A and B are shown apart, each in its own frame.
Chain A
Amino acid sequence: MECRAVVSSLSDYLDGRNIWMSDDEVEQIETHLTNCPACRNLKLEFSEIKNAACELPLHTPSSALWTRISKAMESEISTENGSVRETQSASGWWNWLNSHRYTFSLPQLAAAGALAVILIFGRFSGIFGANPAPLNLKGAQSALLLPEEDEIKADLERRLYVVNSRKAQWDSQIRADFEQRLNMIDESLKLCRYKLEGDPKDADQQDRVRALYDEKRKLLEDVERLKW
């Protein structure tokens, strides 16, 4: 993978939106980050910016500002409604459509034509059947590989929520250390799950994945116990 491609995906990757990426893509990014110091530095800088942004205080606008905005919106809506009512009552929706000027470029027309062909062909060939299979956008990382994985994930998410709500009070160094450790475990977890996908019935590999989930839970339990 080239640096340019990694840089363009880095933001999604750091925001945890890598569930929208394929496993191959995630792996390619990670391999590239391991081998490319420049991109690794960029990733660190992005992470710092993201962390700093999380620490910024939230500002709630005054109620006076909201009143002004809502009044302005109301007056604009009532003006628009008045003109639309006049138009529709005069000549109906067809006239309203005709009253607008439309211009299409050649590529737009071609795309619309192609879409129409696909829709017609799909309708008759059964692509859009009555019960279309759901798209698995999350990829294999979200597929359950252990019978109890759903419960484990729910428990971890609950603990993570509690810890995240407290993190703002922590020392920045401790927060960075904690996140680094959590990432380390997550990376190992990803790797072990990836191996388990190759042979989902491999009991030893299942135990490895369980051990990592357990380690993650213990880490979260520890920081829940600490009062910074």
Chain B
Amino acid sequence: MVKEIPSSAQSSKSVPKSLAPLAPLAPLAALAIGLVVLTASASPAGAQTFSRAFAVSPESSELEVVNQAGTIKVTAGAHQSKIVINARQSDGAAKIDATQSALGKVKVEVTGRGRVDFEIAVPASSSIDLLSYRGAIVVTNLAGAVRARVTDGDIQIAGLRSARVEARCTQGNISFSGEVLPTGSYTLKSFSGRVDAILPADADFKLSASTFRGGIYLGAFQMKFNKRSHQLVEGSHGAGRASISLWTQEGSIYLHSKP
């Protein structure tokens, strides 16, 4: 490929007369083209991108993503009636299918082997259901129901204003940060990682937290306890309206308050 790039040593005699005034810029042009070629060859062989957009109803927008390996990032997008999917396939022979059902639900499914990283923008009120066997899940600024499941990887949920959250991983950490709505149900479970919940200092919730090997740290929350040991806490904060369930077998549980 590099051999095909015009050499900077080309004589000005071979340059057409109309381009003669530009002849002094030829070395710079060659350098620029060379850089482009080098940059392109530095990216992984076989890397492919995938982009699709679906028109959805902002009130009932639904998204499901099933990925084998790779990161899934979902965030509230600028468009309130569109789901925009961008994916990058780094290697392997994975195939990405994105379809929309008659009811408007968008399903993205990866088949075959290989890593695929997704960046998806959805209407803020969308309900999402994400699964990745290996890789992280990052969800930000949504207000709809969130279900996230990873076998091997971390889950990070931030800026949420959702009434229903279920995040689970077998091997990885979970971090949740967001509002606690009065009727909300929040379940964060990791078999062998730590669970962090960053909640408003004045949140109303009843808590069930359990670990087998780790500890439970409640931060600044002054709670009324029904049960309390190093590995099991049941109690409430404020009026105890929302329900928060935190579990880890091998790790620890941390509650943090934010003003």
Contact = CB atoms under 8 A, between A and B. Distances in A.
Report if A and B associate in a common complex.
Answer: yes
Interface in B170-201: 170-171, 189, 191-192
Main secondary structure of the interface of A (DSSP, over half): helix
B66 A226 contact: yes
A222 B149 contact: yes
Given A177-B134, A223-B133, A227-B109, 5 more contacts: A171-B113, A188-B212, A226-B131, A228-B68, A228-B112
A85 B189 CA distance: 73
B210 interface: yes
A207 B210 contact: yes
Nearest to B247: A211
Interface in A187-211: 188, 192, 204, 207-208, 211
B212 A208 contact: yes
A181 B131 contact: no
Main secondary structure of the interface of B (DSSP, over half): strand
A192 B152 contact: no
B210 A181 contact: no
Contacts of B212: 188, 192, 208
Interface in B107-158: 109, 111-113, 131, 133-134, 149, 151-152
Contact of A226 (B68, B170, B189, B250): B68
Interface in B83-122: 109, 111-113
Contacts of B227: 204
B33 interface: no
Interface of A: 171, 174, 177-178, 181, 184-185, 188, 192, 204, 207-208, 211-212, 215, 218-219, 222-223, 225-228
A223 B133 CA distance: 8
Contacts of A211: 189, 210, 247, 249
Contacts of B232: 204
A215 B191 contact: yes
Given A208-B210, A211-B247, A212-B249, A185 B191 contact: yes
Nearest to A203: B227
B168 interface: yes
Interface of B: 66, 68, 109, 111-113, 131, 133-134, 149, 151-152, 168, 170-171, 189, 191-192, 210, 212, 227, 232, 247, 249-250
A226 B210 contact: no
A184 B192 contact: yes
A76 to B, nearest CB: 53
A169 to B, nearest CB: 10
Nearest to B113: A171
Contacts of A188: 191, 212, 249-250
Given A181-B171, A185-B191, A218-B168, A227 B111 contact: yes
A228 B111 CA distance: 6
A219 B151 contact: yes
Contacts of B111: 227-228
B170 A215 contact: yes
Contacts of A219: 151, 170
B137 to A, nearest CB: 13
B68 A181 contact: no
A215 B249 contact: yes
Contacts of B151: 177-178, 181, 219, 222-223
Contacts of A208: 210, 212
A171 B113 CA distance: 8
A188 B190 CA distance: 13
A227 B232 CA distance: 37
A226 B210 CA distance: 29
Among A177, A184, A222, the most chain B Cβ lie within 10 Å of the Cβ of A222
Contact of A181 (B66, B170, B247): B170
10 contacts: A177-B134, A184-B192, A208-B210, A211-B189, A211-B247, A215-B191, A222-B149, A223-B133, A227-B111, A228-B112
Contacts of A174: 133
Nearest to B133: A226
A212 B212 CA distance: 11
Contacts of A218: 149, 168, 170
